[in-house]
């Protein structure tokens, strides 16, 4: 496969990739580059070489997963490139080709896909108090541990409609609307994407000698050394 040709079909790539002059403005402004071993200038520079072997290395690398998609680079590029958009296209291709399991940060797609899509398809939103646990989010503090222990009371006092019918925050989304979301997933590749991530992740978990529960726990929690500058 010609990876550059494949990337060129992606609308994010069409929007975000023009000739890069290697000025490094994107790297200077990038929140990820300050902490991670990440250099968006180098990534765009590699892509524009059209060197298949180098692009394949990128698709299997840790580095394409360091971006936070804040899009600060889009504002600053003097040539109207969007390195963040190029990153989205690279990640998309990495997932489609199953290369994402080759990197620690790429393997996290399994837990992201499972948790976010389950929330969307079952609750109608990406984040929901019924699946947000203090165990996974100790940074939410003792105040939020208390909120989660008293959801009906706290959210009720604050005017939300937690688990209830009708418009409002945290309402229960009608089943017919959840069914429409599922139909959209089926029609647009969302379901196929979830199944693809699951298939490649299962293969990787087996290779690593883990059950899927262990694999999810590991990908969600484990951070090896070497990702950060100065390490």
Count the neighbouring beta carbons within 10 Å of the beta carbon of residue 211: 10
42: Cα separation from own chain's centroid: 21
Helices (H) and strands (E) in the chain — how many of each? 15, 0
**Binding mask 77-116 vs other proteins (x if CB under 8 A, - otherwise)?**
-----x-----x--xx--x---------x--xx-xxx-xx
CB neighbour list of residue 188: distance below 8 Å, 6 or more residues apart: none
Stretch that binds other proteins, among 1-9, 32-40, 46-54, 203-211 (CB under 8 A): 32-40
Among 146, 195, 206, 214, which residue interacts with other proteins (rule: CB under 8 A)? 146
CA distance 180 to 178: 5
Residue with tokens 């959210």: 155
CA distance 231 to 225: 7
Does 122 sit near other proteins (CB under 8 A)?
no
Assigned token pair, 7: 């990337």
Does 165 sit near other proteins (CB under 8 A)?
yes
Stretch that binds other proteins, among 17-25, 53-61, 157-165, 202-210 (CB under 8 A): 157-165
Helix (H, G, I), strand (E, B) or coil at 68: coil
Among 3, 7, 12, 61, which residue interacts with other proteins (rule: CB under 8 A)? 12
Does 56 sit near other proteins (CB under 8 A)?
no
Which is nearer to other proteins, 52 or 186 (by Cβ)?
Answer: 186
Which is nearer to other proteins, 53 or 187 (by Cβ)?
Answer: 187
Which is nearer to other proteins, 167 or 209 (by Cβ)?
Answer: 167
> Secondary structure of the chain: what % helix, strand, coil (to 5)?
65, 0, 35
169-228 positions binding other proteins, by CB under 8 A = 169-171, 173-174, 177, 180-181, 183-190, 193, 219-223, 228
Residues in the interface with other proteins (CB under 8 A) total 90
Which is nearer to other proteins, 5 or 179 (by Cβ)?
Answer: 179
Which is nearer to other proteins, 4 or 218 (by Cβ)?
Answer: 218
CA distances from 190 to 43, 93, 114, 120, 138 (A): 27, 15, 12, 11, 31
Does 132 sit near other proteins (CB under 8 A)?
yes
CA distance 191 to 201: 15
């Amino acid at each position: 496969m010609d990876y550059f040709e494949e990337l060129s079909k992606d609308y994010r790539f069409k929007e975000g990739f023009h000739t890069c002059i290697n000025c490094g403005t994107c790297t200077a402004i990038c929140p990820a580059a300050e902490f991670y071993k990440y250099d968006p200038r180098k990534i765009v520079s590699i892509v524009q070489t059209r060197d298949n072997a180098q692009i394949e290395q990128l698709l299997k690398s840790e580095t394409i997963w360091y971006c936070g998609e804040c899009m600060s680079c889009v504002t600053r590029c003097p040539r109207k490139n969007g390195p963040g958009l190029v990153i989205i296209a690279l990640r998309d291709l990495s997932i489609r080709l199953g290369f994402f399991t080759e990197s620690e940060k790429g393997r996290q797609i399994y837990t992201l896909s499972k948790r976010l899509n389950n929330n969307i398809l079952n609750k109608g939103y990406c984040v929901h108090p019924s699946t947000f646990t203090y165990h996974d989010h100790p940074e939410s503090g003792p105040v939020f541990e208390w909120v989660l222990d008293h959801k009906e009371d706290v959210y009720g006092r604050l005017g939300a409609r937690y688990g209830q019918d009708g418009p409002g925050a945290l309402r229960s989304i009608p089943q017919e609307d959840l069914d429409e979301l599922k139909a959209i997933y089926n029609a647009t590749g969302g379901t196929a994407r979830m199944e693809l991530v699951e298939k490649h992740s299962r293969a990787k978990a087996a290779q690593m000698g883990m059950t899927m529960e262990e694999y999810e726990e590991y990908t969600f929690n484990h951070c090896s050394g070497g990702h950060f500058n100065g390490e």
